[in-house]
Amino acid sequence: MHRTMLYPIGIQNFESLRQGDYVYVDKTDLIHQLASTGKYYFLSRPRRFGKSLLVSTMEAYFQGKKELFKGLAIENLEKDWTEYPVLHLDLSGVTYSDENVLNEKMESALSQWEQKYGIANTFTVDGIRFENIIKTAYEKTGKPVVILIDEYDKPLLDSAGNEALREAFRSRLQGFYSVMKSQDGKLRFGFLTGVTKLGKLSIFS
């Protein structure tokens, strides 16, 4: 009987795509190559170009979910399937019209990570909390941490034309992103996606 091909229109979660038996163009050999030959990457592409699905695929890979990659190129390339602690921040999905939106987005992510690793938060600064999360995840799992950030620049792009708001976002995100440099020794891999490469964020210098 002829099998109906299911196309993953609007699906950005790799696990849902694989479990739903949707069509998937296999480029997992490239993910293995990235993970094997480097540590930090930035992918710049317009929106709706598959960045979120790529990040989701990387998340499943670094979580050691071998069963999701059955029949794909990476199944035979990867020998260890080590499970690493993964911190995935997705800044897409909302419009950053004021500081409260970013406040809620960051608080949601940081709180979830703290809960996952049993951290009783006593700090209010994003960067300090992020640093503490990385240290704790590293110590509790014995494995270096993987950081995946999708649409890292969206708050700044959404606030174009409002210089005061844009500067507030830039200052806050700079303090958060700079932690990746200070905690380099505890990181296994870092991957950021966005539309453009923005300066003054303590990422690309």
pLDDT tens profile 132-189:
999 999 999 999 999 999 999 999 999 999 999 999 999 999 999 999 999 999 999 9
Q: Are 201 and 173 in contact (CB under 8 A)?
A: yes
Question: What is the model's pLDDT at position 52?
Answer: 87
Confidence of residue 203 (pLDDT cuts 50, 70, 90): low
Q: What is the pTM of this model?
A: 0.91
Tens of pLDDT, residues 119-139: 998 888 999 999 999 999 999
Pairing relation of β-strands 86-90 and 40-44? unpaired
What gap in Å lies between CA 77 and CA 117, rounded to an integer?
31
- Which region, left, alpha or beta, applies to residue 7 given φ > 0 means left and ψ of -120 to 50 means alpha? beta
Q: Which CATH class is domain 14-194?
A: alpha beta
% of the chain at pLDDT higher than 90: 73
What gap in Å lies between CA 160 and CA 145, rounded to an integer?
32
The set of residues, in sequence order, having a beta carbon less than 8 Å from that of 135 and lying 6+ positions away, is: 183, 186
Question: What is the model's pLDDT at position 195?
Answer: 83
Question: What is the model's pLDDT at position 21?
Answer: 82
pLDDT at 1 exceeding the cut of 60:
no
What gap in Å lies between CA 204 and CA 198, rounded to an integer?
8
Question: What is the model's pLDDT at position 44?
Answer: 84
Cβ-in-10-Å burial (0-12, 13-18, 19+) of 20 comes to exposed
Question: What is the model's pLDDT at position 93?
Answer: 87
DSSP string, the chain: -PPPPPP-TT---HHHHHHTT------HHHHHHHHHH-SEEEEE--TTSSHHHHHHHHHHHHTT-GGGGTTSHHHHH-S------EEEEE--SS---SHHHHHHHHHHHHHHHHHHTT-------HHHHHHHHHHHHHHHHSS-EEEEEESTTHHHHHTTT-HHHHHHHHHHHHHHHTHHHHTGGGEEEEEEEESS--SSSSS--
Sketch the domain layout of the chain as residue ranges.
Answer: 14-194
Question: Can you tell me the mean pLDDT for 56-64?
Answer: 97
Mean pLDDT of the chain: 90
Question: Can you tell me the mean pLDDT for 48-73?
Answer: 92
In this structure, the number of other CB atoms found within 10 A of the CB of residue 24 comes to 16
pLDDT at 205 exceeding the cut of 60:
no
Question: Can you tell me the mean pLDDT for 52-58?
Answer: 93
